Structure 1
Amino acid sequence: MNDYILFMHDDAVERAIADDGARWGQYLAALRASGQFDGGSAIGAGILAGKGRSDKPAAANVTGYLRVRAESLEAAKRFLHGNPVYEAGGTVEVRELPKT
């Protein structure tokens, strides 16, 4: 089983769907029921920091993340179904978290 992180972007076409608390509640309940959900959160403002460089504001287009487990990237894509941002026409980035 591999670990994946899903990043929700702030580009949903239908904001009412993407921001619907009831839809998020149903979606998160389904993730929990899968037994392959390891948490997530909204993401607030931040900075880009580099040694010897001035801080810059972090990109504001990533608004939250979810961590899930799946056999493959293709299998992880099943967690897109029901995601309010995805269902609202927005972008959900799916990335594998390499084992260390």
Structure 2
Amino acid sequence: MKDFILLMHDDAVRAEDGAAWDAYFGALHRSGCFDGGSSIGAGRRFRKDGAIGAGALPVTGSIRVRAADLAGAEAFLSGNPVYEAGGTIEIRELPRD
């Protein structure tokens, strides 16, 4: 199994439904592949030359899961309130270095 992180971006129109999040986290726990997650508060981006890329959506939360491959990690999109509300979820593998 590989480790993946699902990064939730701030572009969903209605992802604040507590019942939907409870159901989603319940499904994640039942999968046996859930390794935690959290909302992410406000912050700032920095770059030494001062040029911050325009258009990047803020990341508002993360979820860590285990899956055999990227396709397996994509299965965890189903039921995610941000994804279901039309928001962006970025999935990245977390290589073991």
TM-score interval w.r.t. the shorter chain? 0.7 to 0.9
Root-mean-square deviation (CA), in Å? 1.7
Structure 2: 5+ residue stretches without partners: none
Q: Post-superposition shift, 1:60? A: 6.2
- Counterpart CA distance in 2 for 1:40 and 1:68 is 9
Q: What TM-score do the two structures reach when normalised by structure 1?
A: 0.84
Q: Post-superposition shift, 1:45? A: 1.4
Structure 2 partner of 1:82: 79
Structure 2 partner of 1:66: 63
Q: Post-superposition shift, 1:70? A: 0.1
Conserved? CA contact 1:9–1:92, under 8 Å: yes
Do residues 44 (structure 1) and 41 (structure 2) align?
Answer: yes
- Counterpart CA distance in 2 for 1:70 and 1:91 is 20
Identity %: 61
Do residues 23 (structure 1) and 3 (structure 2) align?
Answer: no
The answer to which structure has the higher strand fraction is 1
Structure 1 partner of 2:91: 94
Aligned-partner SS, 1:47:
coil
Structure 1: 5+ residue stretches without partners: none
